[in-house]
Structure 1
């Protein structure tokens, strides 16, 4: 029986495939998958999905392990076991806005895709803010007057710069994570342990 791995499509997918290749895994089936959403390799089965769906597949035991951004775990808090950080997908949460914005007398309004993370962060600072949840490009919100600032993931900062925004406050760093189904860790320990061990080589570097 092969382990089933759920992998976040896109940037994390490409970085994880490189990560596997560096550890001697045969990644050719993953590179040649085309539009397939399920792929078999010699070592495991892979399911490709959006980040939040990766967490859901792992939580419900469809996948034994998952590779997902820490933002999904922090925002959605799925019932999975957070095994370890991975040495890619490194970025940071930050508060950003227009550099010349004038502080308002009213409660600060923050636009974000991450209302739970944002609320928790400001609450821990003893500050109450109004949250505007957006699904798309949050950079528009301050420019159009919908919000004073935004909370978002920043990697290079180029998108902020191109839209005339600056980082006002660094919040915290995140990376990709390896997560596991709780029952799989117990029932499939013998087949999962070698795979998990091979991921741990650079854990100390995070």
Structure 2
């Protein structure tokens, strides 16, 4: 079977991978042993189905792989889908995993006398400039976004900005760096992401897999 004929599933590295694997297995898909080997540097893996492969990439890259057809289907955080807003991606199913939220945070001392409703201009460090700009634009607030890919919590303490917009799960990292949440932009979970062209050209195959994921999600939640 040629590489073009194989169905490629893109999965994110990290915490979400652990949460999604029970759903993947419930769909009858078992990756090769190397997938579970922490020492393996491989990024593409065979499965128990000759026509199905799994690639393991950074969460932000899952959407890009699916949008440009390198993978036909993937698991992607809602934050990534909102940030990139690829028209090539169809996201039919909330998997109910990876719950977190996108929040505005600032130093604890600043928050004591701060009133977010009175903001007219903010300088914000974030890896979500599109989400951030749209959110503040709806509020009539001019947002100057400083793009960072990590270590967001350092930005206010280092004088880069006064506030950050970041993905928050427990809030422990914010607290450890003297920051507090002052606004919640949206709640986030992981979704199934499908390439729209592949959905048309390989309709039966992909719709069957979507349905298997749907059944797996329902079984977990019931």
Query: Shared topology, TM-score over 0.5?
Result: yes
Q: Take 1:22 and 1:148, find their aligned partners in 2: how far apart are those partners?
A: 45
CA contact (8 A) 2:95 2:189 kept: yes
CA contact (8 A) 2:122 2:141 kept: no
In structure 2, what is the equivalent of residue 8 of structure 1? 12
Q: Take 1:53 and 1:133, find their aligned partners in 2: how far apart are those partners?
A: 17
In structure 1, what is the equivalent of residue 46 of structure 2? 40
Q: Take 1:130 and 1:55, find their aligned partners in 2: how far apart are those partners?
A: 25
Match of residue 63, structure 1, among 62, 65, 71: 71
Change beyond 3 A, Cα 1:24–1:182: closer
In structure 1, what is the equivalent of residue 109 of structure 2? 100
Structure 1 residue 19 corresponds to structure 2 residue 23:
yes
Match of residue 127, structure 1, among 141, 145, 156: 141
| 1:173 to partner: Cα distance | 0.4
1:159 alignment partner, SS class: helix
| C-alpha distance after superposition, 1:121-152 (max 9, x if no partner) | 01111211222222221111111222111110
Structure 1: unaligned runs, 5 residues or longer: none
The TM-score normalised by the length of structure 1 is 0.89
| 1:2 to partner: Cα distance | 4.5
- Identify the range of structure 1 (9-18 vs 182-191) with the bigger mean alpha-carbon deviation: 9-18
Q: Take 1:60 and 1:84, find their aligned partners in 2: how far apart are those partners?
A: 20
Q: Take 2:155 and 2:30, find their aligned partners in 1: how far apart are those partners?
A: 44
| C-alpha distance after superposition, 1:151-178 (max 9, x if no partner) | 1000010100111111111221011111
| 1:20 to partner: Cα distance | 2.1
- Identify the range of structure 1 (149-158 vs 50-59) with the bigger mean alpha-carbon deviation: 50-59
The TM-score normalised by the length of structure 2 is 0.83
Instruction: State the superposition RMSD in angstroms.
Output: 2.3
- Identify the range of structure 1 (7-16 vs 109-118) with the bigger mean alpha-carbon deviation: 7-16
CA contact (8 A) 1:20 1:27 kept: no
In structure 1, what is the equivalent of residue 126 of structure 2? 112
- Identify the range of structure 1 (28-37 vs 52-61) with the bigger mean alpha-carbon deviation: 28-37
Structure 2: unaligned runs, 5 residues or longer: none
